[in-house]
């Protein structure tokens, strides 16, 4: 079944080409949408930009993650819109439009996996593949009221997918319920290499302080209580040790942005300078910033050095206790928010989202809270290799 009707504007308008899947398997009966960064046999990989699409050939094979899902019986229904080259967190594509956020139609869906989140939240697919480099599964999952997983970095083969920043790129996915996200986890993850820690879980106060206002903070507390009913009472703690970075999460954000930008320019700089593609607002400025960062060898060296220290610190914390935190600072911003204001919000969100990015640890986000009638996610970070146990825990919390 290939999707013919797309009221949410979530899918790329490629000619419908059937994609073979197994008749039986653990995902039999489920439909799958795929972010247009992954190769799907019979389709181009447009990466959210018309210049990229124009030079793209038709893929002859499926990306390994896509193939694994098809072999498990999932039925492909289409390729979804992504922000340009995946370098955004908003979900607004200047060329192909903004997919509808079914949970809050006047607000952004979040990016760069915007189409996948929209299609899943709106019931056009049972689950959808996205990617998460800086938060592109976790943020749209929170905005659209979905379960989402950023797995342990490197645990799932990301070949056949356009790289953005290899030190951070991960395969991720969305589902409307914990059962479905768990079924996909069983197919893609294999066996865990680590158990969940048995220390008292920590609710990250410094992350909580980044939430946009007191009303939003209050809206998250019932979700925290629901999680605590399963994992035990949390104790307040901070993740950003001042001895490593004096400005805390503000410094961590700079580490993330600098290291990510240097890799992004390594991946795409030559192509950008050769083709001079037309990028939409915000995306163009970020690539220009990446160009400048990549030329500053001293800044890059300092950022990677601090990155190693921060990464080690977070992993030590998460080896002893679960880390509980808001997924993003607030509900989805209004779609009419000016670009400049969205950039300010993006940086605030990345200050939270970079924790899993820098550490490479798995993070599951759950749609357990609402504010002003809109979804608001709460997350748990676990040790490296504990992904399946983390997904199972999300199911128990949802049932609490």
259 burial class (0-12, 13-18, 19+ CB within 10 angstroms)?
buried
Does 114 qualify as catalytic in the annotation? Answer: no
Does 384 qualify as catalytic in the annotation? Answer: no
Cα–Cα distance for residue pair 119/33, rounded to 1 Å: 7
| High-pLDDT (> 90) share of the chain, % | 96
CB 375 within 8 A of CB 103: yes
Q: Catalytic pick from 52, 79, 88, 112? A: 112
Confidence at residue 104, expressed as pLDDT on a 0 to 100 scale: 98
Structure-block tokens of residue 101: 């956020």
- Whole-angstrom CA distances from 35 to 145, 174, 357 are 18, 11, 20
Mean local confidence (pLDDT), 292-301: 93
pLDDT per position as a tens digit, 300-329: 999 999 999 999 999 999 999 999 999 999
Confidence at residue 355, expressed as pLDDT on a 0 to 100 scale: 97
Confidence at residue 3, expressed as pLDDT on a 0 to 100 scale: 67
Q: Catalytic pick from 35, 142, 351, 386? A: 35
Q: Catalytic pick from 114, 136, 165, 359? A: 136
Could you identify the residue written with the tokens 């605590």? Answer: 228
Cα–Cα distance for residue pair 129/156, rounded to 1 Å: 12
Assess whether pLDDT exceeds 80 at residue 277: yes
pLDDT per position as a tens digit, 92-128: 999 999 999 999 999 999 999 999 999 999 999 999 9
Does 35 qualify as catalytic in the annotation? Answer: yes
pLDDT per position as a tens digit, 370-397: 999 999 999 999 999 999 999 999 999 9
Q: What is the mean pLDDT of the chain?
A: 96
Q: How many helices (H) and strands (E) does the chain have?
A: 12, 10
pLDDT per position as a tens digit, 209-264: 999 999 999 999 999 999 999 999 999 999 997 677 778 899 999 999 999 999 99
pLDDT band at 271; cut points 50, 70, 90? very high
Cα–Cα distance for residue pair 84/112, rounded to 1 Å: 8
Assess whether pLDDT exceeds 70 at residue 1: no
> Number of C-alpha atoms within 13 angstroms, CB side, residue 354?
24
Mean local confidence (pLDDT), 254-280: 96
């Amino acid at each position: 079944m290939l999707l013919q009707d797309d009221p949410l504007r979530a899918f790329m308008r490629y000619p419908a080409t059937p994609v073979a899947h197994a008749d039986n398997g653990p995902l039999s009966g489920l439909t799958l949408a795929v972010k247009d960064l992954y190769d799907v046999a019979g389709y181009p990989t447009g990466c959210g930009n018309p210049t990229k699409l124009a030079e793209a050939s038709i893929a002859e094979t499926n990306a390994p993650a896509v193939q694994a899902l098809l072999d498990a019986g999932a039925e492909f229904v289409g390729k979804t819109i992504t922000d340009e080259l995946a370098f955004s967190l908003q979900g607004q594509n200047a060329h192909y439009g903004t997919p509808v956020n079914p949970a809050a139609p006047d607000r952004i869906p979040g990016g760069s996996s915007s189409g996948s989140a929209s299609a899943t939240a709106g019931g056009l697919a049972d689950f959808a593949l996205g990617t998460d480099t800086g938060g592109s599964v976790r943020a749209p999952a929170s905005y659209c009221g979905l379960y989402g997983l950023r797995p342990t970095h490197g645990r799932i083969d990301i070949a056949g997918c356009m790289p953005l920043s290899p030190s951070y790129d991960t395969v991720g996915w969305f589902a409307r319920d914990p059962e479905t996200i768990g079924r996909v986890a069983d197919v893609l993850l294999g066996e865990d290499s680590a158990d969940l820690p048995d220390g008292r879980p920590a609710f990250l106060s410094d992350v909580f302080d980044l939430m946009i206002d007191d009303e939003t903070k209050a809206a998250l507390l019932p979700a925290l209580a629901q999680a605590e009913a399963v994992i035990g009472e949390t104790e307040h703690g901070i993740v950003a040790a001042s001895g490593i970075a004096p400005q805390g999460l503000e410094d961590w954000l700079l580490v993330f942005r600098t290291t990510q930008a240097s890799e992004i320019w390594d991946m795409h700089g030559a192509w950008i300078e050769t083709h001079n593609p037309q990028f939409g607002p915000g995306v163009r400025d970020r690539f220009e910033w990446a160009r400048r960062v990549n030329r500053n060898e001293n800044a890059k060296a300092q950022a990677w050095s601090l990155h190693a220290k921060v990464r080690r610190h977070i992993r030590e914390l998460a080896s002893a206790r679960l880390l509980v935190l808001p997924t993003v600072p607030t509900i989805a911003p209004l779609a009419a928010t000016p670009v400049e204001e969205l950039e300010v919000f993006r940086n605030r969100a990345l200050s939270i989202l970079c924790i899993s990015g820098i550490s490479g640890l798995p993070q599951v986000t759950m749609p357990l809270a609402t504010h002003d009638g809109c979804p608001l996610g709460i997350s748990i970070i676990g040790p490296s290799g504990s992904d399946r146990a983390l997904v199972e825990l999300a199911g128990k919390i949802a049932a609490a």
